Chains A and B, each alone.
Chain A
Amino acid sequence: FFFCCLRRSVMRLEKCYFCESTVYPGHGICFVRNDCKVFRFCRSKCHKNFKRKRNPRKTKWTKAYRRASGKDMTVDTTLEFEKKRNRPLKYDRELIGTTIKAMKRIAEIKHNREARHIERRLRGKKKERTMEAIKELRQFKHIIRPPTATKPTLLQIKASQRAKRLQQERTKKDKNTLDDHLPTPVQQQS
């Protein structure tokens, strides 16, 4: 017998082992180790770094480093979709169609979330720090006041003034309630 195998070459976008960027067909180098593990590299830079046995988690420009140091988003539901599964699926045209649509949408969402993650990281903690400082001041302002001072602090003066003002308003209000019962003079334009 002579079996003619029609092998269709499947194009697949791989991830570079070192920097995790996409390796397009026709690019990069693929290294197969003695234990049959396949390493793909997008360019000679990554390949050379790999040969020098550098750890991608410590090489600053790689995705592995950025994830390990929290610079890029690590935990997200959109990243779950990128996981490879070894389960073979029966070909279903509709499924393929919906998958392609979903892929586009998920990519959008993922992109936005990653951008937001970086934004949040770069925003800094200035606002949070000032709020914390205000809170702390309010809590311990009685300590800040020197114990030997006999003069009232500005805050105390203002507080007493405010109390006086409120009391005056209250007394005014009490006087006004009597007037409320009388009919208000309505100016009629003749």
Chain B
Amino acid sequence: MGRPQARSRKHTSKDKRKDIKTKHRVKDLDQIIVDLKPENAEKLEKQEVDPDLPGLGQHYCISCSRYFVDARALSDHRKTKIHKRRVKALKEDIYTGPQQLIDNGKPIMRDESN
């Protein structure tokens, strides 16, 4: 018999892949915006050595929420279109949901109410 047909990925759509499953879920843009705040960004750039993560968790791209194997991989990633697109998307207005809250949802303590 002939050799098995090489599996071509030409006609698979990205959306059908398994990474859409909840267990493979990646951070949402509104979570990343929180991460980008200086207090949080500091912590994320200097993470503890974690053997389970790629590159021991030392090379993390905050805007893409991805770990890289080494510093070179991270710097190469920063030049890619995907990263640049993500950085641009984060600067735009992010959809936070349909609920509109008065006073931006600040909870009002019972003592303050009349």
In the complex, B110 has a CB within 8 A of chain A: yes
In the complex, B48 has a CB within 8 A of chain A: no
Inter-subunit contact A86/B101 (CB<8 Å): yes
In the complex, A123 has a CB within 8 A of chain B: no
A88 to B110: give the CA distance in the assembly, Å.
7
**Can you name the residue of chain A whose Cβ is closest to the Cβ of B25?**
A51
By secondary structure, the A interface counts as: loop
A85 to B100: give the CA distance in the assembly, Å.
9
| Cβ contacts under 8 Å, B15 to chain A | 52
By the criterion of a CB under 8 Å from any partner CB, how many residues of chain A are at the interface?
A: 27
**Can you name the residue of chain A whose Cβ is closest to the Cβ of B99?**
A84
Listed from nearest, the 10 A-B pairs whose CB atoms lie closest are A15-B98, A20-B98, A87-B108, A85-B102, A86-B107, A83-B100, A83-B102, A51-B20, A52-B15, A57-B95
Inter-subunit contact B101/A83 (CB<8 Å): yes
Contact of A88 among B93, B100, B101, B113 (CB under 8 A): B113
Inter-subunit contact A86/B28 (CB<8 Å): no
Given A15-B99, A63-B98, A82-B100, also A52-B113 (CB < 8 A):
no
Inter-subunit contact A51/B113 (CB<8 Å): no
Q: How large is the interface on B (under 10, 10 to 19, 20 to 34, 35 or more residues)?
A: 20 to 34
| Cβ contacts under 8 Å, A53 to chain B | 26, 28
Q: List 10 A-B contacts (CB under 8 A).
A: A15-B98, A17-B97, A20-B98, A48-B20, A53-B26, A53-B28, A63-B98, A84-B101, A85-B102, A86-B108
Question: Distance in Å from the Cβ of B12 to the closest Cβ of chain A?
Answer: 14
Inter-subunit contact A85/B101 (CB<8 Å): yes
| B residues with CB within 8 A of A | 15, 20-22, 25-26, 28, 31, 93, 95, 97-103, 105-108, 110, 112-113
| Cβ contacts under 8 Å, B21 to chain A | 51
Inter-subunit contact A86/B105 (CB<8 Å): yes
Given A86-B108, A87-B113, also A17-B98 (CB < 8 A):
yes
A121 to B30: give the CA distance in the assembly, Å.
32
A123 to B57: give the CA distance in the assembly, Å.
58
| Cβ contacts under 8 Å, B99 to chain A | 15, 84
Question: Distance in Å from the Cβ of A58 to the closest Cβ of chain B?
Answer: 9
A88 to B15: give the CA distance in the assembly, Å.
43
Inter-subunit contact A64/B101 (CB<8 Å): no
Interface residues as binary, A72-110 with B (CB distance below 8 Å gives 1, 0 otherwise): 000000010011111111100000000000000000000
A11 to B112: give the CA distance in the assembly, Å.
27
Question: Distance in Å from the Cβ of A57 to the closest Cβ of chain B?
Answer: 5
